[in-house]
Each structure stands twice: as structure tokens, then as C-alpha cells.
Chain A
Amino acid sequence: MRHLLGNPAQWLRSRFPVDQEALTAIGSEPIPGHLRRWWWCIGGTPAYLFLVQIASGILLTFYYVPSPEFAYDSVAAISDEVRFGSYLRSIHKWSSHLMIIAMLLHMLRVFFTGAYRPPRELNWMVGCGLLLLTLGAGFTGYSLVWEQLSFWGATVAANILSAVPIAGDQLAAFLRGGDTVGQNMLTRLFVLHIGAIPTLMIGCLAIHVYLVRAHGVSELGSPNSSDSEPFPFFPNHFLTEVALALFLMFFLTCLALIFPADLGERANALETPEHIKPEWYFFWAFRWLKLMPDQVAVVTQGLFLLLIVLWPVIDGRIRKRHPDSEISMAVGGAAVVLLLALTVWEALYLMT
């Protein structure tokens, strides 16, 4: 190597020039003192879990067969025959659950500390987009297993789309790739799960991180408080995130070993199971659908999501007229209570 390239380090530096000073300046940018607390790493946690999802997902794709005939068998083979297959499948499943929990906690933190307020409204919206994409990845991934519950979950989801006003039938036909749930839909779910959704997530994540850097991390509380002293991102905060990544790997391994990803009955298009259920993060929507006609439920859910996405703009208008308004606390509190109540209600119903 030395004979061919002379000094390899020098050869690489001249072919791949990096401004070391600029890199150091970016890395050691000061961040607010309150980020010293572990709790404030919750924003970086979904990003790390996303990496775990990508790595484990790529590996699972080596064995998964996206065909109604073989999908279930290929998942069973991953779980039962391939070395570390059950472990990797469980890691993929549990990291998706933890990712959604971490994102929800991150959103709650941002909402209740008012970190979405100017100039960070757009970043809140990008974050909402990331959450919706993650939920989409969860739904498509759950469906790929092609077991009874996931098959009928996908069937119901496609039917729910039909209830969307005006374009409902077209949306459902797009997801199904035809009139029935079969090969076309499985191919679409697969492409969305491993291609379209992760690509959009990487784009949104890049914008999200860029905007965090551009606006800086929002300050918290009084500037005179004990933890207001800024500190460099690298190495201090970076090492905190690395330690958290190590802990998450340990925690995911424990979950994978104690509660490995299971496999239900093979999908049967001729027999709907007695109880079908989505993943826990859709319980609230599932319960809502049971309370009112489909179209009313879908429209109100859409309006609710729109309210969450546009809340920074609405809140901005309110605060322009009433600068001391804390209506966001009441609205956020009500939304959390409503979502939790619907989720628990559905969970209790499914348990009985």
C-alpha cells in the first residue's frame, strides 16, 4: 500500500480534502446547559433507533420473500432456522416500538416546553412528518409478516382509506394495487417499508437536524438558572448519546431475549379472525372508528392530525392577541388525555 500510494493518510487527505478547523467548529458548537441531563437526550434516541432499524431491516431483507405464497414461510424461517434470525427480527420489532415511544416523548417535551414557537414552527411540522412516516413504517412492517392479524389489519386499513372523502376509493386502490388484498398490495407495502418511507425519513431527518443546528437548541427556563451554562456538543453531549446507544442495545437485547417477536397463524383470506387488532400505537384510531361512522371518524382524525401539525401557527396567532396565553397547555393536556383514554379503552377491550 505504501509503495503504491506513498503516505496513505496524505494521499487520502489530498483526494478527500476536509476542513479540519470547520469540522471542529461545527462539532464543538456550544449547546444549552440543560442538555447535560439524561432526559434531554430523548431527541437523539429516535435517530439512533432509526439506525438500528435500517441495519436490522437490511439484514432481514436478505431472507424475506415479498410474495403472499412465501412471505409467512420466510418470516418463520428467519425466526426458526436462520442463525440469530429470531434475535434480529425481535431487535427490529422492539426498536420500532421504542422509536415511536421516544418520538412521542420527544414531541411532548417540545410541546410542553414551547420549543415549537418561532422561529421553530417549521421544524415542529417536519417532526410531525417524521412521526407520521414512522407510524407508516410500523403499519407496513406489521403487514409484511402476512399472518392472520397483519393480513386483516392491512385489509381493514385499505377499507378505512376508502372512507376518505373524495379520493378515498383511489387511495384504497393505490394501496391495494387493485380491488383485492394480494400480491400487488404486499409488493406495495414492501416497497413503502424498505424504500419510499425510509428515504423520506432520511430527508426529513436531515432537514430536522439542519434546522435544529440553524436555530440552535431552544433555551429552557431562566437564563440565570444553575444549568444555563452552555457546553460543547463534542465530545460532552456526543458521549452521552453514545452511552445511551450502548444502554439501548443492552435494553433491546433483553427485550429480544425475554419477549422474542412471535408469529401468529398464517394469513387466510377466507377466514377473518374473531378479534383483529392493530399495533398499540393505532389503538386510539381503532377505538375512534368504533365510536362513529367511518367517514366521520376518518375526517375527525384527519382534522386532529392537522391541528397537531399546524398548532405552532394557531398558537402564534393566539399569542399575538394574548401574549401571556397558555392555552397550548390546556389543548396539549386535553389531547394527551383523549389519546391515552382511547388507547387504554381499546387495550382493555382487546384483553377481555
Chain B
Amino acid sequence: MTEKSMVKADFVTSVILIAMGIAILVLSIQMPTMADRNQSVYSAPGVVPGFIGLMITILSFAMLLRSLKKKALAEFREGIIPKGSLGQESTKRILTTIVLCLLYAFFLGKLWFGIPTFAFIFVFIIIFEYDRKKPLSTQVKKLLIAALIAVITTAAVMLVFQKLFLVNLP
């Protein structure tokens, strides 16, 4: 991350964190004190989260002041997201990875473990390896290897985890 976008990111996160800190503080104050149960006020469940909320607010406020000193607001004139970062190859790869993993997690528990697992590994390898510019016929080997890895991994995971380590699978 460049220094300019870091200043912007610090500004945004500090605002979010201050809101979070204050919310934690308010929720902690609203918790019962347990005094009606003849318990010491100091044993109230809200004492420690309240302290943590306060600390998060103070520290984030320090970060907010620092980012304002570095002229964070002026940086926003050039747009919130740095130009060109969305089209970058690395951003695409990061987003693809996250989306594939989310999809896999979504299907877990809904289908028998083997199906999403096989599909996930196969699709993951193909998406990152398949070259759309080349004809399909030259890339059959890639497809076969991906399918083979997916089958072997799925079988091995199920065997090792269920039979050897006696662990439940999703």
C-alpha cells in the first residue's frame, strides 16, 4: 500500500473503530450491574468490555488526529479507491481466491462433502491455470491433472480425517 492510500485507509478505519469503541462502551454501560442480586458493583459484566471500548476509542481517536495531520481529507479528492487498483492483476487474483473460497464454504453442509470439495479444487486449479487464448485441445492435460488432484485430495482427506484421526467432516 502506498503512503497516500495508507493515510486514507487510516482515516476510514479510525472512524469505523471510534464508532465501534463507542458502541462497545454504550452496550457495556447498559449491561446489568448485578447489584440487585446483592453482588458487588465491581463484578458487573460490563466493567471490562467498557474499559476495552474506552481504550479502542482513545487509540483510534489518536489515529484519526494523526491522519488528519497528514492531510487525509485532501487525499480523498482523488477518489476513495486509488486509480487503476481494481484492474490490477493482483487485485483480480485476490478477489477470485476469496470468491471461490466463499462459494465452497456456502455449499458445505448443503451437499455431501465430496462433491463441493472435488469441484472446488478442480475449479480453483483451472481458473488460475487455464489459458483462454490457447485452444482447448492443447490444454486437455491441464484439465486431466486438475481432475486427478481433485479426486485424490478429496479421497485422501476423507480417508485420513474420518478413518485415521476420527474427525467429523462438514
> Are A and B genuine complex partners?
no
